[in-house]
Amino acid sequence: MIKSVCIVGCGWFGLPLAQAMVAQGIRVNGSKRNAENAALLTEHGINGFTLDLSLDEQLDQNQGAIKVALNTDCLVVNIPPSLRKDPDGYLVKLARLKTLIHDITYQKIIFISTTGVYPSLEKLMIEKDAVAHSEVSGKLLQAEAMFSALSHSCIARFAGLVGPERHPGRFLAGKTELSQPDAPVNIVHLNDCILAVSKLVFEPTSNGAYNVCAPKHPARQSFYQQAALDLGLVAPQFIKESGSGKIISSDRLMKELNFEYQFSDPMDMLVVC
């Protein structure tokens, strides 16, 4: 039974996930990159600790305390890739984390990834369709492999994230001559990410990779125009062209783990972002 969770990376997703775990009576250790922000986590009932995987000196000086914080029943790895800014730094950070946890036995490990591992093809994408179709996707898959090789691990592949401070109306507002007006929208609300990862943590049968994406996929033009108008912004304009795009399937999560989305239709997300 999982009674304690360590969340590496308590940011936009990690913090509300930690708060949801605390509300369920779980002891939560959560990391921030600096001591001041880590201390603030106590206000939310989270045992904050400092962990900056880009600083060897900090890891060496505080390794004992860091390993104590990492030693829980479950580990959630939620480190933003930032691959375009630092393509190699992401894998280096993950390698350092893996070294820190090499002698810890977890009941469950959840690695947060992205649906960026799927190529831009006009087809329904299921978990086995992930392929290194670019330098970025190749590194994402390398990152997944580092943790999928560990016992009791799951990979959660998030689609485009929306929620507080991430209203999709701002994504394309005012832009013109945009392509793929009929392409399906693949997004997911923060609340459903929290529910999905919680399901993976506490469901004993969860294993392997799972897509986390709203099961309905409105057309790109109609969705983003409505999203912009809802905020009183200039609606984006699209060029007329044929063709569509990929659809991210979340069938495995829903069918195998009986998961139900709170926001199955992206249109319903617009009033709660």
User: What are the residue boundaries of the structural domains of the chain, listed by start?
Assistant: 4-162+189-216+246-262
Q: What is the pLDDT of residue 88?
A: 82
- For residue 112, what are the contacts with CB-CB under 8 A and spacing of at least 6? 13, 76, 77, 78, 79, 156, 158, 197
- Can you give the pLDDT at residue 108? 98
The separation between CA 251 and the C-alpha centre of its own chain, rounded to angstroms, equals 18
Task: Residue 94: name the closest of 143, 138, 136 by CA.
Answer: 143
What confidence score (pLDDT) does residue 229 get? 97
Please, are residues 167 and 228 in contact by the beta-carbon 8 Å criterion?
A: no
Angle at 266 between CA 231 and CA 77, to 5 degrees: 105
Q: What is the pLDDT of residue 86?
A: 77
Residue 265 falls in which region: left (phi positive, over 0), alpha (psi -120 to 50) or beta? beta
C-alpha to C-alpha distance for 53 and 46, rounded to whole angstroms: 20
pLDDT value of residue 87: 74
Eight-class DSSP state of 233: P
Query: Which pTM value belongs to this model?
Result: 0.96
- Give the CA angle between residues 10, 197, 11 to the nearest 5°: 15
Residues of the chain with pLDDT under 70: 57
Structure tokens at 130: 């992930």
Domain 4-162+189-216+246-262 carries which CATH code?
3.40.50.720
